[in-house]
Structure 1
Amino acid sequence: MIHTDHALVLFSGGQDSAACLAWALDRYAHVETVGFDYGQRHAVEMVQRAIVLDRVRQAFPEWAPRLGTDHRLDLSAFGAIGETALTSERAFEMTERGLPNTFVPGRNLVFLTWAAALADRRGLGRLVGGMCETDFSGYPDCRRDTLDALQAALNLGMDRSFVIDTPLMRLTKAQTWALTLGLGGQALVDIVLEDTHTCYAGERGARQDWGHGCGACPACELRARGWREWEAAGRPALAA
């Protein structure tokens, strides 16, 4: 039986997926998480995700009973196919296709297909991902129309009625910070700052005002710009 109030969050351990986790815990009766080891050069995110989950359980006792099993899936063979800047040591740059070389072809499609297979076995009716169009980084598999098509294909192919939730789809990074504050207050903002990992280069290093990271990769630049915009706006909270 598929439960429509049970969710599986694609949880990388980064800022966006942490916001999605809080969003799901605020809504659904039961939430599980899944992380994918695909040979990413920033594999430290796989370490940080366990730390973030523990911190959330400790900081939010009202959410802790809803937070269920964490799953870790090995997709290292898939990661080896793409030969991108996320899966090998190379400079971050644009490709001849006009896409950043951090784009791993088909990554979100593969992630969501594996997540759906897991959700089918676990009885979880909603798949929650941090894909976003507003702060568009050039990834065609982050577009809502791509995900609508995939949702239809998954439901046809598995004879299910999964819903792919993308709570950040229309938000800027500044609004993601605001949503984080609105969902979990300063305690959740502090967890995102101290414990999540978003840097493509895989650097933790000294914490900057917006969190840990190299400060120069596309992910760090986007995150830092969102933080500055949020601060300039007076750190508003955004209702979930």
Structure 2
Amino acid sequence: MGKAVVLLSGGLDSATALYLAKAEGYEVYALSFEYGQRHKKEISCAEKLAQKAGVKEHIVVNTNMDAWGGSALTDSSIAVPEADLDTGLIPATYVPARNMIFLSYAASYAEAKGAQNIFIGVSEVDYSGYVDCRKEFIDAMENAVNMGTVCSVEYGKRIKIHAPFISMKKAEEIKLGISLGVDYSSTWTCYNGEERACGVCDSCRLRLRAFEEAGAKDPVQYRQL
């Protein structure tokens, strides 16, 4: 199947994407980011997941998106809000253009490694409404990547951005992940970096609801339910 770069945050979605890429036969190169986020628990999980999955290479990119803030995840003066999944408003945890930045790095890494595939675990079904988790954005980024890389423009080796969960409910994704052997105890989804997941932020609430709908037990411990 060739080579694939997987954006591996250490969360539930990226872990499932990692195992799916492996199951489909790709030689996997994992890419994680320290971007000035509130905590490094996800990075630790990403390292464990990459080791367990036996990826070819795992690189952690350091970038200081906290220098300009603009998000509860990169600016300590902005509190992480409790979830309101029915509000329809994009929460303060949205990080400006984060997936645009991450996919740009992934495209550079993919071209350097001769990989024609990038996996990202975004969904526009069970999500917080982030604009960079929508199919229109993914399609636009794939087009931009293939207009701005030599491998595509000069040699016709197009890079495909795979977003396998874009139209999938998170419960379905969890069922898939369980069938693939994903160790969800080695993932971290909470926006807060405490010893236990908070259970009340958007990310925790979406995760908990999905495990319940999937009829599975979430192995992560929570402070508040």
| TM-score tier (shorter) | 0.7 to 0.9
The 10-residue stretch of structure 1 (213-222 or 16-25) with the greater mean CA deviation from structure 2: 213-222
Q: Which residue in the other structure is 1:171 paired with?
A: 168
RMSD: 1.8
Q: How far is 1:15 from its partner?
A: 0.7
Identity %: 36
Q: How far is 1:125 from its partner?
A: 0.8
Secondary structure of 2:164 counterpart:
coil
1:155 to 146, 152, 172: 146
Q: Determine if the alignment matches structure 1 residue 36 to structure 2 residue 27.
A: no
1:54-133 equivalences in 2 (<5 Å): 54-56=51-53, 64=54, 67-76=55-64, 78-89=65-76, 90-93=78-81, 98-133=89-124
Q: How far is 1:158 from its partner?
A: 1.2
Q: Which residue in the other structure is 2:137 paired with?
A: 146
Using structure 1 for the length normalisation, give the TM-score: 0.80
CA distance in 1, matches of 2:141, 2:186: 31
Q: How far is 1:118 from its partner?
A: 1.0
Q: How far is 1:170 from its partner?
A: 1.1
CA distance in 1, matches of 2:45, 2:178: 20
2:50 to 49, 53, 59: 53
Secondary structure of 1:197 counterpart:
coil
Q: Deviations over 1:92-148 (max 9, x none)?
A: 349xx9321110111000100011011111111101001110113110011111110
Q: How far is 1:5 from its partner?
A: 2.2
Secondary structure of 1:124 counterpart:
coil
Q: Which residue in the other structure is 1:137 paired with?
A: 128
Gaps spanning 5+ residues in structure 2: where? 153-157, 217-225
Specify the code of the residue in structure 2 equivalent to 1:88.
D
Q: Which residue in the other structure is 1:219 paired with?
A: 203
Q: Deviations over 1:7-57 (max 9, x none)?
A: 00000111110000000001133111000110111321111211222333x
CA distance in 2, matches of 1:7, 1:14: 19
Specify the code of the residue in structure 1 equivalent to 2:22.
L
Secondary structure of 2:193 counterpart:
coil
Q: How far is 1:217 from its partner?
A: 1.1
Secondary structure of 1:116 counterpart:
helix
Question: Contact (CA 8 Å) 1:8, 1:126: kept in 2 or not?
Answer: yes
CA distance in 1, matches of 2:25, 2:5: 10
Q: How far is 1:229 from its partner?
A: 1.0
Q: Deviations over 1:191-211 (max 9, x none)?
A: 21x211111012232xxxxxx
Specify the code of the residue in structure 2 equivalent to 1:69.
E
- How many pairs align? 204
Question: Contact (CA 8 Å) 2:69, 2:75: kept in 1 or not?
Answer: no
CA distance in 2, matches of 1:154, 1:54: 28
CA distance in 2, matches of 1:112, 1:34: 10
Q: Which residue in the other structure is 1:236 paired with?
A: none
Secondary structure of 2:118 counterpart:
strand
Q: How far is 1:181 from its partner?
A: 1.7
